Amino acid sequence: MKTPQLSIVAPLYNESESLPHLIERLNALMDRLPLSIEVVLIDDGSRDNTAYLIRQLALTDDRYHGVFLSRNHGHQLALSAGIAAARGTEALFIIDGDLQDPPELLPDFYRLFQEGNDVVYAVRRKRKENMAKRTGYYLFYRLLQSISYVDIPLDSGDFALISRRVADVLIKMPEESRYLRGMRSWIGFKQIGFEYERDGRIAGESKYSFKQLLRLAYNGIFNFSEFPIKFMTYSGATAITVALIYLIVVLIKRFFITGVIEGFTALLFVIILFSGVQLLALGIIGEYVLRIFFQAKNRPLFIIKEEIVNREYV
């Protein structure tokens, strides 16, 4: 078998229920496309039999490439491992293993890629999730776009087709706290969006907890925006302004009206205001220091425990 033109990259974590459905749809897709395709399935330290299913598949079907991480590294790092392992000479098609990203859209993405676009990213026209999640995603994407120094498209996730040269640049980027859709936008080249309706999960439940979603949001904000640092400056300036106004009011009352303002309430207000501003500033600085700390360790982003690959591709 010749070197693959395209690599389909799908990270998986405890997806034994959805994996058979994914394979069925991928096989049907590859059988009807006149392209040489490999599928890179990354097991992100699953606790069910996802790794076993990937292993059996990779050993029996040369189109499948199994990558097994040493532990659960998280979605962004698992995806980074898959991008590093993929050998598609033309492009990489990045999807989620839960089938919320329809693999059948590959021909549409590939057509836009052939028109000269290095990145074809999916734009979610409609999401099939609960109201709280939809509202949270909607507000976050708009907040991030308004404060980011990179133009990160609204309502776009990791679902995308990227050219080989974009993939090579991503591999060279050493960020430990990764936000791949932001990194993809930062790289540049010609990019275009493709609207689609996101499906619900084919089986099982979402593996992204609220804590993990919050961490991903933090990575997007602190890695691609100067706003948190500037916000500290604005908050400090606001606090000083309020204090000066309060001082002027006190002096006016002292010398021209009825005396100095007294009372526990006023004192408590001033203490809480300045303490809050200081703690907020320390928290924002701490987020940056934490990222510097982990980056300075220079540990590998992920550890591959095992890899099963068709040797004709090597």
Q: What is the pLDDT of residues 27-68, one digit of tens each?
A: 999 988 888 889 999 998 888 888 889 988 888 888 999 999
**Residues 113/120, Cβ–Cβ less than 8 Å:** yes
Longest dimension (CA), the chain: 93
Strand ranges (DSSP E) for 180-249? 191-197
Instruction: Among 24-28, 81-85, 177-181, name the one with the lowest average pLDDT.
Output: 177-181
What was the pLDDT predicted at 314? 42
Mean pLDDT of 11-18: 87
**Residues 215/294, Cβ–Cβ less than 8 Å:** no
Domain spanning 6-225+300-313, CATH architecture: Alpha-Beta Complex (3.90)
CB atoms within 10 A of CB 222: 19
Write the DSSP assignment of 129-151 as a string of letters: S-HHHHHHHHHHHHHHHHHBSS-
Instruction: Grade residue 200 by pLDDT with cuts at 50, 70 and 90.
Output: low
Buried b / exposed e over 146-171, threshold 16 CB at 10 Å, is ebbebebbebbbbbbbbbbebbebbe
pLDDT > 90: percent of the chain: 16
Instruction: Among 130-139, 206-215, 297-306, name the one with the lowest average pLDDT.
Output: 206-215
Q: What is the DSSP letter of 252?
A: H
Whether residue 150 is predicted with pLDDT greater than 70 in this model: the reply is yes
What was the pLDDT predicted at 264? 58
Q: 4 — alpha (psi -120 to 50), left (phi > 0) or beta?
A: beta
Mean pLDDT of 252-264: 65
155 vs 81, residue with greater confidence: 81
pTM for the full model?
A: 0.75
Q: Where are the domains of the chain?
A: 6-225+300-313, 227-296
What was the pLDDT predicted at 38? 92
Sheet of 6-12: strand order equals 191-197, 119-126, 156-163, 91-94, 6-12, 37-43, 64-69, 304-308
Give me the residues paired with residue 66 across strands. 41, 308
Instruction: Grade residue 276 by pLDDT with cuts at 50, 70 and 90.
Output: confident
Q: Which of 84-88, 198-202, 243-247, 275-279 has the highest mean pLDDT?
A: 84-88
Whether residue 118 is predicted with pLDDT greater than 60 in this model: the reply is yes
What was the pLDDT predicted at 313? 42
Whether residue 215 is predicted with pLDDT greater than 70 in this model: the reply is yes
What was the pLDDT predicted at 259? 58
Instruction: Grade residue 169 by pLDDT with cuts at 50, 70 and 90.
Output: very high
Give me the residues paired with residue 308 across strands. 66
Q: What are phi and psi of 58, to 5 degrees?
A: -65, -30
Instruction: Among 6-20, 141-155, 197-211, 268-282, name the one with the lowest average pLDDT.
Output: 197-211
Residue with tokens 């790794």: 51
Whether residue 101 is predicted with pLDDT greater than 60 in this model: the reply is yes
- One-letter amino acid of 53: L
CB atoms within 10 A of CB 210: 9
For the chain, give the number of residues.
314
